[in-house]
Amino acid sequence: MDSPMSSSVLHISATFLQPTCHARMGREDAAPNEWPPSPLRLFQAIVAGAAARWVGESGSAIETALTSSAPVAALRWLEALCESSLPTILAPSFAVGHAVPRYVPNNSADLVAAQWARGSALATFDDRTRKVIRPTHLLDGMTVHYMWPLDIEREREARAHESALAAASRCMVALGWGIDSAIGDARVIDATAAASLAGERWEPVRLGAPGLRTPLAGTLDALIARHSAFLDRMRGDVFRAVPPLRAFGSADYRRVGDFPHRPFAAFVLRPLDGDGSYAAFSAERSVCVAAMLRHLACRAAQNDLDSNGWRSGEWALRFVAGHGPEGAPKRRALNDTHPRFSYLVLPTIGHPHADGMIRRVLIAEPWGGDGRSARWAAQRLAGAVLEDQDRGPVARLESVEPDEVEFARVFRLYAARAPCEASTVWASTTPVILPGFDDNKVAKRERLLVSCLRHSGLDPGAIVSIESRPTGWLQSTTAPLSAFKRPAYFRHLPAVHVRLQFSTPVTGPIALGAGRHCGLGVLAAQTDF
């Protein structure tokens, strides 16, 4: 039986001393900005504050101070709370700034000096290293609020740890990079006070999904061990690499009112000889590439059925292959809302010299999908070979995760890695097939496009404007509509290029029209290329 809920909330706040934050979701320069700061980042800042206070008082090592003094019980309780109940986050609205390269002192001189000591005359040292700064600008405030609802038992525990958590939070120095100075506080407040706090509301919508990192039981011990390894990284003349932090979870956070998440599996097309370059196909063959990808997924699904699990014969028939119900024609009825995969091809865009060739593909679930089929596709199809009906094997699939550098090149324009990369303006890269005849009338075409939005799972009420024309808006989408191959059952329908403006940023991927599951009607975020 669930514990009765109280009207209290554990509230931890972090107030920036300047209206910017530089936190990222990875170490690479191409990693997306992290906003709001993750619960794990907050937890790390609180642990650092506790260490600064209690280690300074005791003069002992951090592992001794934090395992024998007042805050340890509070920190262990907080990580356990995060594992069982993730916080709601209230944060200022934001805008991502331009990337600016800076050159900072290089911290690897100790490695070069060791080579010199061993007599290496070839070791060189560059005293500066390039670092890209891309701030998140806070637009209407500088305080981020983290709130955990408490049941009766949790409230009693929270009040017991309140003073230690407050003391550690008030010793917070930064939240993000070292230059992101911030001060913190922690207290138990009532629900009325929590409801009066200002900021955009971010809720965890899917545990275990890629997104913001979260603490869990064992995170504190892992942080202490990592700090100890950092202090001991140079012993004698031997450098010991500090292991990365592994003891954390993750959750997909979304602002209230944002579009739901759309899970996907991303693949790069590689040559069969594995030389590290790309296999490329013209955008006009979008349907052919999508058909090869679908055929590969269908064959894998039939060979990977689980009669006692969710990978059933119906899943393979309807979700993966996209067929109608048993006994019905293979082509699904227009009003058949059963979920299915969309096989999306991605013409190369994103820089002035992009050629629009297809080198990447996505397999996407419907909006709000649970992600298990996309994860299955990413694992099961990695390394598989695409086969053309006439030419035989033509390319090999290489799975790509959103935190890899490859994803930052083109994928992020079709499927943003984080809300800070979402866009309000999206334009088609392959033609949108209308589900009926527009008779060359603008009003009728707009009604058909509204139907396309509904069929795709998008709310027409979230659209500020819809534009359509025979040519694309993106530089690489110059091929005439008639050049694009289509399935026989779409050849009689009109096609257009489309540009949408949403009222709130959308992460994608987006595909519209009658061909949205087979490589046509794919949209990309329109940016200044």
Q: Could you list the beta-strand ranges (E) of 196-335.
A: 200-214, 234-235, 238-239, 249-255, 264-270
Would you state the pLDDT for residue 350? 85
* Residue 199 region by backbone torsions, left for phi larger than 0, else alpha for psi between -120 and 50, else beta: left
Would you state the pLDDT for residue 1? 44
Measured CA distances, 421 to 31, 247, 257, 460 (Å):
10, 27, 17, 22
Q: Which residues contact 156 (CB under 8 A, 6 or more apart)?
A: none
Would you state the pLDDT for residue 527? 72
Beta bridge partners of 264: 364
Among 8, 306, 257, which Cα is nearest to 157's?
A: 8
User: What parts of the chain have a pLDDT lower than 50?
Assistant: 1, 58-59, 529
Q: Which residues contact 526 (CB under 8 A, 6 or more apart)?
A: 423, 425, 426, 427, 473, 474, 499
Q: Which residues contact 362 (CB under 8 A, 6 or more apart)?
A: 264, 265, 266, 267, 342, 343, 344, 346, 411, 414, 415, 509
Q: Which residues contact 23 (CB under 8 A, 6 or more apart)?
A: 33, 34, 35, 37, 38, 41, 136, 175, 176, 177, 180
> Tokens 């990309």 label which residue?
524
Torsion on CA atoms 136, 264, 322, 289, rounded to nearest 10? 100
Pairing of strands 432-433, 423-428: unpaired
Would you state the pLDDT for residue 529? 42
pLDDT in tens, 281-296: 999 999 999 999 999 9
Please check whether residue 171 is in contact with residue 113, taking contact to mean a CB–CB distance below 8 angstroms.
no
Torsion on CA atoms 300, 302, 307, 311, rounded to nearest 10? 50
Would you state the pLDDT for residue 372? 92
Measured CA distances, 72 to 49, 62, 198, 508 (Å):
12, 11, 31, 42
Q: Where are the domains of the chain?
A: 5-97+134-255, 100-132, 264-525
Would you state the pLDDT for residue 111? 57
Pairing of strands 88-91, 200-214: antiparallel
Q: CB pairs under 8 A, 24+ apart, for 449-457?
A: 449/498, 449/512, 452/512, 452/513, 452/514, 452/516, 452/521, 453/512, 455/334, 455/516, 456/510, 456/511, 456/512, 456/516, 457/366, 457/367, 457/368
Please check whether residue 114 is in contact with residue 181, taking contact to mean a CB–CB distance below 8 angstroms.
no
Percent of the chain with pLDDT over 70: 88
Please check whether residue 28 is in contact with residue 405, taking contact to mean a CB–CB distance below 8 angstroms.
yes
In the sheet where 342-347 sits, what is the strand order? Answer: 342-347, 358-364, 264-270, 392-400, 385-388
Please check whether residue 414 is in contact with residue 288, taking contact to mean a CB–CB distance below 8 angstroms.
no
Side-chain half-sphere CA neighbours of 276 within 13 A: 0
Would you state the pLDDT for residue 56? 54
Beta bridge partners of 399: 267
Side-chain half-sphere CA neighbours of 14 within 13 A: 32
pTM of the model: 0.79
Encoded amino acid at 448, one letter: L
Side-chain half-sphere CA neighbours of 202 within 13 A: 26
pLDDT in tens, 470-517: 998 887 777 888 889 988 888 899 999 999 999 888 999 999 999 999
